[in-house]
Structure 1
Amino acid sequence: MLEEELNKLKETHTTPSYSSVTKNSQPSQNQKITNNVPAIIIKPTITQDSQVTKKEIQDTIDPKKINVSINSIQTSKHGCFVIKCNTEEGANKLMKETQKNKKLGEKYGIKLSQMKKPRIKIITSSTTMNKEEIEECSMKQNQFIGPDDDINVTFMKQINSGKQIIFAECSGTTFPKLMNFKRIYVGWERCPVYEDLNIPRCKTCHAYDHKDTNCRNKLTCPYCGGEHRSINAQRNTRSVVTAKNRWKNLQI
């Protein structure tokens, strides 16, 4: 009898396995966590320091009371305060809580940032289809694109080779699928798809990632590195650099 009771106690007090613990500790499927969450921008109606805005918001709103998780916070120019939550549901909840607060609603303008859609370009031969027809073909002819996906053609451009570039925007769920397959069926064609990268280049210093209106660097010639405009570079220097660039493109 004693042995039977001991065995029953062992069965009821077994140590849980590592897999069972990790399984129970994982977030539920109902809580969708995504990086593509719009930020909340809080801008004062009067000119003030951004640290003042930050302090007033944090003293007034308690994320714990509304069950919201904050990914990051940062101050911006003109007294703005930017908050980013880990879910879109949390961002909407925090924005509503901030807007309904009379003290904050009268003093601050509160809005969600506009998320930019990924941009792509599709290379086709010259086609007579319009934008709506191309969008319809893209959605119906490609099995990996589901009903929740989205492709919107913005404009089309004819290039010298006789081919056509279709510029489009797509949803965040569609973009990785397109980059994975790298091809899309449009009409009678199987077209290559590329990410449409638009990296700004300064016309003053000719560096990337900023425009000449925001440039603080000195004037630089892209041909010889001199402190003058490219149009003033010596003709022989310009021709040598252009020839080298053409040779590099041929090797690629």
Structure 2
Amino acid sequence: MVKSEIKRNVSNDRASTILVSNPNLSPQSTRREVMKAIDPAAQGIKIRAMRTKGKEGVVLATASQEDNVKIQSNVQLRNAGFTVQESMGDNPRLRVHGVQAELAPEEFARAAFAQNFQGKWTESMFRASFKPLFKTGKRDLDTVIWVVETSPEMRRAVLNQGRLYIKWDSCWVADFVRVSRCFKCQAFDHVAKFCRGVEICKHCAAEGHKEEACPAKNEPPKCSNCRRAKEDDGHAVTSENCPAYNWAVRKRLRRTNYGKEAEQQGTQQPPTPCPRNCDSAGNAKRDREEASPQGPSEKRVISDLDRPEPPVTPRRRSEGTEIAWKELCRHCFKYGHTTSQCLSLVAACEHCGLEGHKVETCPNRGSSTRCVQCIRLKLKKDATKHSVLTQEICPAYIMHIKLVNK
């Protein structure tokens, strides 16, 4: 789903997006002034969507280049001090894993340039294309994950290189694709601090109470976002298979500028959005920072054209062929991907089977080896006393193979 969406994003004419900004006004004030200055009906302008873009201003998505010209030639906007220019979309973001926690943003950026791009890029070009935003990950670890905003060209250069050398560490990189969810109204694309909606229960999807006071805790969870869209709501709002969440992910990918040359050059495509962490059963917990539709379509989460594709069932494959779902990641120790493709922010230990640290820093070296996969399945303790790498006797591996071969 994600790769096909990026191909569509690469081939689309992104010049049909206009950024209207005014440094003296907030994005909300800019939005109001733009709606006063432009009359789409009188000027014959087809507006597909309007949204604020951080502190930069308001983004208008139009139906054609002709509509862009009409907006750019609007005299009232120019006289009011607004800057009107074509927007190429949001810049992509990358995750840099394994950076020393004590490094400051300036020191991190300086090391990234000096050890990886000196002689290839000028420092001014690098600083404009590589901007550290924030760091995430477990607080009690010596290393963190830096999230950086890059230009499409810098993203391709970093992903082609595969990793960044930062001080004494070789740090692997991956795309950062994440959609936020409000803790208050459960909708996407904003956080509770700025939410104007009503309180909605995370568990039962009813209004007026929080999950802690939910009277239906013993009943199956319901998804409030899918209920708004009149879709099947028989799942938790945090489910990775939630149709509303998949719609929000596609929306985020369409708003990101990965560059028109990405498809032709064959560079890595943005992967499935990464979960922030995983619970003890191995279920992904999604981060919550991004998207609820604005304007008249506020309650509409999914359109008929935006329905997610049905999940693809793995097929039986003949022995001797490369079977992706048999591969075991040496970072999170889950099947179906390699370490370089891993999206998990939480490492797992090969020795003790616990999450939050690697085998090199395992505090339980004196104890017997336990399988992290079997621990996630909550098997009896005796059934977990083996290495996760001994697949021939691992109950979790045997169950996994039976599942994918159904």
Using the size of structure 2 for normalisation, the TM-score is 0.35
1:120 lines up with 2:94 in the alignment: yes
Counterpart among 121, 125, 142 of residue 162 in structure 1: 142
1:141 lines up with 2:115 in the alignment: yes
**Secondary structure at the counterpart of residue 280 of structure 2:** helix
Q: 5+ unaligned residues in a row in structure 2: which ranges?
A: 1-10, 21-32, 52-58, 220-235, 237-277, 284-375, 378-395, 397-406
Amino acid at match of 1:123: H
Percent identity of equivalent pairs: 15
Counterpart Cα distance in 2 of 1:77 and 1:143: 37
How far residue 174 of structure 1 moved from its aligned partner, in angstroms, is 1.3
RMSD of aligned residue pairs (Cα, Å): 4.9
**Secondary structure at the counterpart of residue 120 of structure 1:** strand
Counterpart Cα distance in 1 of 2:197 and 2:176: 24
Counterpart among 217, 222, 231 of residue 212 in structure 2: 231
1:11-38: CA deviation from partner (whole Å, max 9, x where unpaired): xxxxxxxxxxxxxxxxxxxxxx996658
Amino acid at match of 1:162: D
Amino acid at match of 1:53: Q
Q: Is the Cα contact below 8 Å between 1:41 and 1:83 reproduced in 2? A: no
Amino acid at match of 1:151: F
How far residue 51 of structure 1 moved from its aligned partner, in angstroms, is 1.8
Counterpart Cα distance in 2 of 1:184 and 1:202: 33
Using the size of structure 1 for normalisation, the TM-score is 0.51
1:98 aligned partner: 73
Q: 5+ unaligned residues in a row in structure 1: which ranges?
A: 1-32, 56-72
2:42 aligned partner: 52
**Secondary structure at the counterpart of residue 179 of structure 2:** coil
How far residue 168 of structure 1 moved from its aligned partner, in angstroms, is 1.8
**Secondary structure at the counterpart of residue 168 of structure 1:** strand
Q: Is the Cα contact below 8 Å between 1:45 and 1:109 reproduced in 2? A: no
1:98-148: CA deviation from partner (whole Å, max 9, x where unpaired): 26xx68855895512664322222222535443233223222323699415
Counterpart Cα distance in 2 of 1:229 and 1:145: 55
**Secondary structure at the counterpart of residue 136 of structure 1:** helix
1:203-252: CA deviation from partner (whole Å, max 9, x where unpaired): 34535456563658x83332x556541111379859xx9xx952134369
Map 1:62-73 → 2, pairs under 5 A? none
- Which consecutive aligned stretches of 4+ in structure 1 deviate over 4 angstroms post-superposition? 33-38, 41-45, 75-78, 80-86, 94-97, 102-110, 207-212, 224-227, 234-238
Q: Is the Cα contact below 8 Å between 1:54 and 1:75 reproduced in 2? A: no
**Secondary structure at the counterpart of residue 173 of structure 1:** helix
> Which stretch has the larger CA shift, 39-48 or 184-193?
39-48
For the structure 1 residues 159 and 35, does the alpha-carbon distance in structure 2 shift closer, same or farther, using more than 3 Å as the test?
farther
How far residue 186 of structure 1 moved from its aligned partner, in angstroms, is 0.9
From the CA coordinates, give the structure whose radius of gyration is larger: 1
1:195 aligned partner: 175
